[in-house]
Amino acid sequence: MKKKADIALSRNDLDWLILRPSLLVDIPGKGFVSLGPAEFHDQIAYADVAETLAELLHEPRIRQQILDNSIPGPHRSERPSRLTSVGLRWKSM
């Protein structure tokens, strides 16, 4: 059912963003995340998801995307305030 809703949403012109966090855990946030269209899923603190979502919602160039959100692997760690560094597709307004 969720997949059908994601497909329906992604096929319209609304301003939308789907954030898919890994396993949510109640631990202190680390202040940095792994964020992109296809990320390995491990776990992530509620606080890190909230901070990431707040950053993304105020970034008008990130629209109509489905993004995975997890703790960073050994190869990558980006702070949410440095979203331009994580290789996202920017959409013009």
What's the CA gap between 60 and 73, in Å, rounded? 27
Amino acid at 82: R
Q: For the whole prediction, is pTM greater than 0.85? A: no
**23-25 and 43-45 as β-strands: parallel, antiparallel, unpaired?**
parallel
CB atoms within 10 A of CB 39: 20
Q: What share of the chain is helix, strand, coil (3-state, %, to 5)?
A: 30, 25, 45
Q: What is the pLDDT of residue 73?
A: 61
Render pLDDT for 31-76 as a digit per residue (tens, 0 to 9): 888 888 888 788 899 998 998 888 888 888 888 888 888 877 654 4
